[in-house]
Structure 1
Amino acid sequence: MGIINVLFSDKVTRRVKYQAFMNIVCAVYMWTMTLLVTHVSFFHIVPDCYEADNRVVIHRLAIWYIFTGTLGNYITCVFTKTDAKTSERLEKQIKSHGRYCLACEMQVPRRSHHCYLCESCIVKRDHHCFFMGVCIGRENHLYFIFFTLFMGIGTFYGLLLNAKYMHRLYGTQFHGPQTFVKIFFSLFASLLTGQLPSYRYMGLFILMYVSLAGTMISFGFFAWQMLVVLNGQTTYEAKFGVTRYSKGSYLGNLREVFNSRSLVSLLLPMWDLATNTNYCRINSQSE
């Protein structure tokens, strides 16, 4: 794995090593919190809120599918090769329009950029994701977008279940976004006066704000990715105002990443990885 190699390499700067270390920290934090929210929702909140109701099964199936979609797209995104070396055969027709990378010591396609954390040039590089520890490029862009979508839905679902549970146990009333500010300062005031809440309340309090932050970050990433895709750009190109790769229409730009086969990736997470099929790659080959 590139991140591990960079972390123990003597050929990189301290800054790059620090970034590699933060990759690991971010990934561990994200999955620790994801597993905690999923576990508490699946085994505690849903059974306690709905008891013997048939809705327990429905909610548990929903939680399981969302978690599978999140994990499946994460794994597929991480293990899909995005570097120019593995894409050499696929980019044969456009090599003559590329450029030479001094770090990789090879000719690379247009829109490729070198990543010192991944130690390679990434085809159509969007950005390096610290939560995944890999770069997002042409080959795994679709799976990253689906990951942010599933993660956003999952954290928002967990937030709703948590709010319902706190209302059931403590009578907490939720009247909009301002409620989260009110709860925070109420707890802070209680701590200052020496009124310590129960461990259960503190646990639910932490998970609620973790879910809130996860919802905002995930949907924020999803919205941004959809915006740059519609404009026919990557995050790198949007940063520098590069627009020359746009197809001239939103639909044409969407087809750079999505097509009818993308529905398979959405409904059956990890199907592409299991069958060694990459629909991002198919889109590029068909052009």
Structure 2
Amino acid sequence: DKSWRVRYMVANQLYELCEAVGPEPTRSDLVPAYVRLLGDNEAEVRIAAAGKVTKFCRILNPELAVQHILPCVKESSSDSSQHVRSALASVIMGMTPILGKDATIEQLLPIFLSLLKDEFPDVIGIDLLSQSLLPAIVELAEDRHWRVRLAIIEYIPLLASQLGVGFFDEKLGALCMQWLNDKVLDMATNPHYLYRMTIVQAISLLGPVMGAEITCSKLLPVVVTASKDRVPNIKFNVAKVLQSFIPIVDQSVVEKTIKPCLIELSEDPDVDVRFFATQALQLTDQAVMAS
């Protein structure tokens, strides 16, 4: 219709018509009509359509929703009108149980995260986030499939950076702690070498963040022990970690602990271990000269 007010009323109530006419007319006629309303040239119409996206998708099968509605949702998330984006943000996570885990992680969460970066506070809506996004994250974080849990873990840093320390500590901190074993460093002696490798890599990331005191007291002893590992891949990664510790710790620690360990690794039978150990030793010598 030429009148935007008519289209506005249709956008508000189209999902009710879908319930009345059944799946086939909905698929063939009403889905295309709804897609047009989401892209209407009048912002008021787009606001109404965006606010009903979850109710509309509940009527469709997941395949139709992913194929036809999600692309429009992605476009609406960058709409020129902040009110369209706000209407979408208020309902978007209700689509999670409709779309299923794969579509939620691969397509819906990135859209929601883009809305978190919005310049307008009413689009971000932290209170609304608590009601919609967080329950979905908690549910997916406890999924029995490890790939689903991994995908959620990878989104957490972006969420934390957008929402701030206070929100993260209150809402997400406990969830993140659940992903850690009670004693992470105990995995340094795990029989499977991939666990031991993971610990070495984790320590390389922790050192610069934790500072000299904790690095020396908690992390460095684990790395020194790992330098005796029977797996060459672990040992040359140890050499890399020890090299990364040089700017963090005092020069006395470098001379007393790090350098002797690297000297021992530089005499290892494995060529890669010797290479990375020698490279790290050169850096220790440069550090000594600089000091």
Greater per-residue helix proportion: 2
TM-score if structure 1 supplies the norm length? Answer: 0.20
Greater per-residue strand proportion: 1
* Structure with greater contact order relative to length (CA < 8 Å, sep ≥ 6): 1
TM-score if structure 2 supplies the norm length? Answer: 0.20
